[in-house]
Amino acid sequence: MAHDTTTADAHAEHEHHELPTVFGFWVYLMTDCIIFGSLFAVFAVLHNQFDGGPTGKELFEISGLALETALLLISSITYGFGMIAAHKGEVKSVMMWLAVTFFLGLGFVFLEVKEFAHMIAEGAGPDRSAFLSAFFTLVSTHGLHVSCGLIWIVTLIVQLAGTTAIPERMMNKLTMLSLFWHFLDIVWICVFTYVYLASMI
């Protein structure tokens, strides 16, 4: 009886420790929604302020954007496979899918940086017009979030290396990263639709 009581107390203490973490992460996601919502609102106001500079129709290429979008959306699927493996307790499979997700995300960031470098080299940097200032701020903020997600993925891979099981705390970390990564996918769909496609019409 005493052993059962001790176990129950330990479980309750563990839940008490985890709940603030989960709650804090949801608060973070809500603040991220506010940040991106504000940036979208700014872009909505400034998207026609070209100041004689190039427009989105002149700058954006659908082929490159389609590849970026495909990489990020596929990375969301591969992360989902990783979560399935995590629930099965397959550590090596989780690490493999995290690595695949990492390289897909890295490819996305590489293409985005390449796009920015090309635009700046063509004289279409963030200082050229209000439209480009709003564009660079919004898209680079999303890219920064993806980069942070990549660092998070590497951290989890390192933590999983050498382990044979996935404890509840690690599952909690994987779940929070899953929410974060899928959130970035949703934001990118909005960026792709409203910022890129709408600017090309």
Instruction: Give the model confidence (pLDDT) of 56-106 as tens digits.
Output: 888 998 888 999 999 999 999 999 999 999 999 999 999 999 999 999 999
Residues 6+ away with beta carbon under 8 Å from 45: 134
Structure tokens at 143: 């890219």
Structure tokens at 21: 């973490």
d(CA 64, CA 105): 15
Instruction: Give the model confidence (pLDDT) of 113-149 as tens digits.
Output: 999 999 999 999 999 999 999 999 999 999 999 999 9
Read off the amino acid at residue 127.
D
Using an 8 Å Cβ cutoff, are 187 and 36 in contact?
yes
The 3-state DSSP class for residue 152 equals helix
Task: Please give the domain boundaries of the chain with CATH numbers for all domains.
Answer: 21-47+56-200 (1.20.120.80)
Instruction: Give the model confidence (pLDDT) of 5-47 as tens digits.
Output: 444 444 444 444 455 676 778 888 999 999 999 999 999 999 9
